[in-house]
Chains A and B, each alone.
Chain A
């Protein structure tokens, strides 16, 4: 595994005007991997990307590329290319010259430039747009040009800084699939920054969840969704019910005034824990057979399912179900042991 690591960050720290934006970032990215840095704004994900791109330098720590320290290397000497948040296309050049920019700097022969640019225009589905000015293109088209401009240089890593942020929902979904397909076809490593958890789950091989300049969890989309490390990750990725509880012993947890059998162990006896139950994992059953009972407070139709808020005395449960229970009715709630996820309570940093 060691030799497959393309980029490693080791103990990276960064401060802006005395405010810590990154502390102790350790991260590695494998070849041909699609890695997403995910977190709320201000979590340091863009700064991490900019450190790898060479636009910022870390105060301490090392950035390794193919085993070599590139911390001091300027951007133009790095074998990575960036797709910028607002595209940063050159307004004084037309589409063709924008894409050819990097190749011209490298003094590539003219016919080769023409061939590669044509191939890129094909790839991003903008054949025949070469002579257009970039201002005349829509947001989605500009986005494709920005991607083509970066990819034409055949970088080993493509850095993408919230590239779909400015697009509307439908276009964004299309582009997500397109980007993922492109990455698999070209076999290039993608490092993607976003605050959109759904985007991260759709596209990534590995998700890095960040908050307050720290990495909270690294894992596959599935492991992060199913086994969030703490309440923040659980809350940020998908929707969830998070309860304070007590681990009575292995495989038995107490929360919301009831005892639930679960599958987690190793937390000790009578240990305080955070409990996550995804809304779609809560089963609505008869009042008499539920582990907890409650009253339906509100019902929202969400298309595929109904979202019901259920007041169970000391706690409110969010439940997703395809059948609706009328407001005010009493229902029983039940969760199978496998769907209860136990986490150590989060120590508040900072």
Chain B
């Protein structure tokens, strides 16, 4: 693995220049303002960002466009479209023209990406369908139970994400709680784990609060007189909901969708635990490239593709909520 860290001399110089530039910026700021300025308090965070966000992203880009020897190549991206690209290349090199018959195009990576997007889409939709009414209920000012419900939604978030997922295992397993219960009643056991449904369940369970809270915040801030005005002008409960409440909660919904969709697409670990290797999502694929295969170059290319996709979907969502009223990251 260490060989991956042997960077070319110019990469080290680039990183050095980045650091020098940062130090120079700090020094210039201090001297120009003849002392401490409030902007200086942002310096630790800026340094942190440069070290742990900007540099790694640059490194990913570097790995994505180089091969194992550090030479520039686009093969990593060709590998994404055709997962048999590497082996095909060997076949063609050895057999020449005759090898063309043995060349096949593998679509594992693209399939995984499509599957991930599909799973993320389903997860987001289910979270929205479950989360919106919950948020509506929590934000209802006549509902004394609302604040209790907020706490109930937060409590699971106090527990570790891995722990929560593993807890589902003991529920769904063949010898788990649900199956033991069914067997005790005389039924046959059901296979609950190791399928897409279980993965989806785990994802919805983990990401639901990220849908509920942005919507709840927007609804809670909304002037209740607006719904009264709607009722006054002839709207019954449902009409008030879809003529006034829903249009006004769009920023929260956008924010919720972003905050669920993004981690859903990049999910890993949940598919491995609840899907038991029968399902693979894009996050798992990237992880396996890095940790199992040790192929940092292909892994980086996949990460870069993921990043671009997320940026595109974010910019689409940003159009729907231009003022960022949802308080989210969209």
Interface residues of chain A, those whose CB is within 8 Å of chain B, are 53-55, 74-76, 80-82, 84-86, 88-92, 101-102, 105-106, 149-150, 153
A91 touches B248 (CB 8 A): yes
A88 touches B234 (CB 8 A): no
Contacts of B225 in A (CB 8 A): 84-86, 88
B234 touches A105 (CB 8 A): yes
Which of B229, B231, B234, B239 has a CB less than 8 Å from the CB of A90?
B229
B243 touches A105 (CB 8 A): yes
Contacts of B233 in A (CB 8 A): 76, 81, 101-102, 105, 149-150, 153
Fill in one digit per residue for B232-251: 1 if any A CB lies within 8 Å of its CB, else 0.
Answer: 11111001000110011000
Given contacts A86-B223, A88-B223, A105-B243, contact A76 B229 (CB under 8 A): no
Cα separation A105 to B231 with both chains bound (whole Å): 10
Given contacts A88-B223, A105-B239, A105-B243, contact A53 B248 (CB under 8 A): no
Cα separation A153 to B233 with both chains bound (whole Å): 8
Which of B223, B231, B244, B248 has a CB less than 8 Å from the CB of A76?
B231
Cα separation A76 to B227 with both chains bound (whole Å): 11
Fill in one digit per residue for B247-268: 1 if any A CB lies within 8 Å of its CB, else 0.
Answer: 1100000000000000000000
Cα separation A89 to B233 with both chains bound (whole Å): 12
Number of A-B contacts (CB under 8 A): 62
> B146 CB to closest chain A CB, in angstroms?
16
Question: Which size bracket describes the interface of B in this complex?
Answer: 10 to 19
17 A-B pairs within 8 Å (CB atoms) are namely A54-B232, A74-B236, A76-B231, A76-B236, A76-B239, A81-B232, A81-B233, A84-B229, A85-B225, A86-B223, A90-B244, A101-B243, A102-B233, A105-B233, A105-B235, A149-B233, A153-B233
Contacts of A92 in B (CB 8 A): 244, 247-248
**B contact face: mostly helix, strand, loop, or mixed:** helix
Fill in one digit per residue for B2-43: 1 if any A CB lies within 8 Å of its CB, else 0.
Answer: 000000000000000000000000000000000000000000
A76 touches B232 (CB 8 A): yes
> B234 CB to closest chain A CB, in angstroms?
4
Closest to B224 in A: A88
Cα separation A88 to B228 with both chains bound (whole Å): 9
A88 touches B229 (CB 8 A): yes
Interface residues of chain B, those whose CB is within 8 Å of chain A, are 223, 225-226, 228-236, 239, 243-244, 247-248
Contacts of A76 in B (CB 8 A): 231-236, 239
Cα separation A89 to B225 with both chains bound (whole Å): 9
Cα separation A3 to B243 with both chains bound (whole Å): 38
Cα separation A149 to B233 with both chains bound (whole Å): 8
> A137 CB to closest chain B CB, in angstroms?
16
> B248 CB to closest chain A CB, in angstroms?
6
Cα separation A8 to B228 with both chains bound (whole Å): 22
Closest to A92 in B: B247
8 closest Cβ pairs, A-B complex: A102-B233, A88-B225, A88-B229, A75-B231, A105-B234, A92-B247, A82-B232, A76-B234
Given contacts A91-B248, A92-B247, contact A102 B234 (CB under 8 A): yes
B228 touches A75 (CB 8 A): yes
Cα separation A101 to B233 with both chains bound (whole Å): 7
A153 touches B223 (CB 8 A): no
Cα separation A102 to B230 with both chains bound (whole Å): 8
> B45 CB to closest chain A CB, in angstroms?
34
Contacts of B232 in A (CB 8 A): 53-55, 75-76, 80-82, 150
Contacts of A91 in B (CB 8 A): 248
Cα separation A340 to B223 with both chains bound (whole Å): 49
Cα separation A298 to B229 with both chains bound (whole Å): 50
> A130 CB to closest chain B CB, in angstroms?
18
Cα separation A85 to B232 with both chains bound (whole Å): 14
Closest to A105 in B: B234
Contacts of A75 in B (CB 8 A): 228, 231-232
Cα separation A81 to B228 with both chains bound (whole Å): 11
Closest to A146 in B: B229
Contacts of B248 in A (CB 8 A): 90-92
> A144 CB to closest chain B CB, in angstroms?
16
Contacts of A53 in B (CB 8 A): 232
Contacts of A153 in B (CB 8 A): 233-234
Closest to A155 in B: B232
Contacts of A81 in B (CB 8 A): 232-233
Contacts of B226 in A (CB 8 A): 88, 90
Cα separation A138 to B232 with both chains bound (whole Å): 23
Cα separation A90 to B234 with both chains bound (whole Å): 14
Closest to A91 in B: B248
Contacts of A89 in B (CB 8 A): 229
Which of A80, A84, A102 has a CB less than 8 Å from the CB of B228?
A84
Closest to B239 in A: A105
Cα separation A82 to B235 with both chains bound (whole Å): 13
Cα separation A317 to B96 with both chains bound (whole Å): 117
Contacts of A80 in B (CB 8 A): 232
Cα separation A80 to B243 with both chains bound (whole Å): 20
Cα separation A271 to B22 with both chains bound (whole Å): 90
Cα separation A129 to B236 with both chains bound (whole Å): 29
Closest to A153 in B: B233
Most buried by A among B230, B247, B248: B230
Cα separation A101 to B227 with both chains bound (whole Å): 13
Contacts of B234 in A (CB 8 A): 76, 102, 105-106, 153
> A146 CB to closest chain B CB, in angstroms?
9
Contacts of B239 in A (CB 8 A): 76, 105
Cα separation A86 to B236 with both chains bound (whole Å): 22
A74 touches B231 (CB 8 A): yes
Cα separation A86 to B248 with both chains bound (whole Å): 17
Most buried by A among B226, B228, B232, B234: B232
